[in-house]
Amino acid sequence: AQSVAQPEDQVNVAEGNPLTVKCTYSVSGNPYLFWYVQYPNRGLQFLLKYITGDNLVKGSYGFEAEFNKSQTSFHLKKPSALVSDSALYFCAVRERVGGKLIFGQGTELSVKP
Amino acid sequence: SQTIHQWPATLVQPVGSPLSLECTVEGTSNPNLYWYRQAAGRGLQLLFYSVGIGQISSEVPQNLSASRPQDRQFILSSKKLLLSDSGFYLCAWSVRTGWYEQYFGPGTRLTVT
């Protein structure tokens, strides 16, 4: 069965510092991986995806993610955090059969001035 | 461009009352449609998904039901609400093949009293 794990419930970062939000996955075959962001009382916004190709994927709002097949990870990164980046972040993997997305439990990112 | 609408934005209903939440998508045809529930601001639970008119798959047995009367309309219903039905309900769509990511609506906050 496919699954995704976000090992940190919360990540705290100072504004201007780099940020990393971790995600590991378990799938059979090649994974299709996604990152979403959710602001309070809002729907999820799509940030980026890895389907194939370069291991470093660039997305919206300056975010990027690095696909690492040997470590089965897909960590979300940003070189310089903004206070406005504070939100809930979800990692997801697409099921091979049926195409549904399996979401992690989310990581709360808090960026302090 | 594609947009997804949900209404109402917020809803307070007594236990035992019926429920109808509506989701519509504009700017695309033949989308896959999904209903999720998010409890306590965290994990997403897939409730239903649909690959076409009248085609509904249920992920979790419960007192909710879904219908897709038109290609771009997805409705979540209940005959009698339970306290445990409270949560944030999110509708999402994806293309039938290809891009794989899902796009979410703004959500409906349901409080059952």
Domain ranges of chain A: 3-112
Q: What is the interface size between A and B, counted as CB pairs within 8 Å?
A: 47
Nearest chain B residue (CA) to A33: B101
- For the domain made up of A3-112, the CATH class stated in words is mainly beta
Residue numbers in A near B106 (CB within 8 A): 42-43
Q: Which two tokens stand for residue A38?
A: 């959710």
Which 8-state DSSP code applies to residue B42?
S
Mean pLDDT over all residues of chain B?
92
| Secondary structure element (H or E) that encloses residue B61, with its range | none
Where residue B80 falls among pLDDT bands split at 50, 70, 90? very high
- For A105, which of B42, B88, B102 is closest by C-beta distance? B42
Range of the structural domain that residue B15 is part of: 3-112
CB of A67 less than 8 A from some CB of B: no
pLDDT in the model for residue B98: 66
Contact B88 A34 (CB under 8 A): no
Query: What is the 3 state secondary structure string of chain A?
Result: CCEEECCCCEEEEECCCCEEECCEEECCCCCCEEEEEECCCCCEEEEEEECCCCCEEECHHHCEEEEECCCCEEEEEECCCCHHHCEEEEEEEECCCCCCEEECCCEEEEEEC
Distance from CA of A44 to the nearest CA of B (A): 6
pLDDT in tens, A37-50: 999 889 999 999 99
With a CB cutoff of 8 Å and minimum separation 6, the contacts of B31 are: B25, B71, B72, B93, B94, B95, B96
Cα distances from B49 to residues B53, B58, B59, B104, in angstroms, run 11, 7, 8, 13
**Under an 8 A CB cutoff, do B44 and A103 touch?**
yes
Q: What strands, in cross-sheet order, belong to the sheet with B3-7?
A: B3-7, B19-26, B73-78, B64-70
- CA dist A6 to A20, A90, B5, Å? 12, 8, 29
CA distance B44 to chain A (A): 7
pLDDT score for A78: 98
Chain B residues touching A43 at Cβ < 8 A? 6, 90, 92, 104-107
Confidence class for position B106, pLDDT limits 50, 70, 90: very high
Closest chain A C-alpha to B26 CA, distance in angstroms:
17
pLDDT band at residue A87 using 50, 70 and 90 as cut-offs = very high
Chain B residue numbers touching A91 (CB-CB < 8 A): none
Say what the pLDDT of residue A12 is. 98
Amino acid at the residue B11:
L
Does B100 or A93 have the greater pLDDT score? A93
**Which CATH number belongs to the domain containing residue B46 in this structure?**
2.60.40.10
What's the number of domains chain B is made of?
Answer: 1
Tell whether B46 is within 8 A of chain A (Cβ): yes
B40 Cβ contact list (under 8 Å, min separation 6): none
| Interface residue B86 vs chain A (CB under 8 A) | no
Sign of the dihedral through C-alpha B112, B4, B98, A104: negative
Number of Cβ within a 10 Å radius of residue A58:
10
| CB within 8 Å of B78: residues ≥ 6 apart | B18, B19, B63, B64, B65, B85
Residues of A in contact with B44 (CB under 8 A): 44, 90, 103
- Residue B43's pLDDT is what? 84
